[in-house]
Structure 1
């Protein structure tokens, strides 16, 4: 399962919300809080569901075992 499909909420609007993040072993996600703030604002504006707890879980699972 891709990260994208794990977070998708079934919104049938015909478009997707994408936020890219840089991750480095030992450092984690760069400017993480800024990325999340932009993602939450965009999701709210466009009517996408955004569950911060689920988002954190998916991101953690995605990078687990890669030197976090």
Structure 2
């Protein structure tokens, strides 16, 4: 049995399901805000092959918003 499997089984034995849930991690912040993330997930659910299009749209909206902020 792999080390990961043993680790998971021990966690399950010690703390149940709660031990198997992901815990917060360090790292870079998300690129999408909550609203953008929701929009992206909705659009991709409508057409799963459109992820690049949806992300490009989000990028362009942010770029336009930043340019308008300078004027």
**Fold shared by both chains (TM-score > 0.5):** no
Which structure carries more relative contact order (alpha carbon 8 Å, separation 6+)? 1
What TM-score results when the alignment is normalised by the length of structure 1?
0.35
What TM-score results when the alignment is normalised by the length of structure 2?
0.34
Bigger helix share: 2
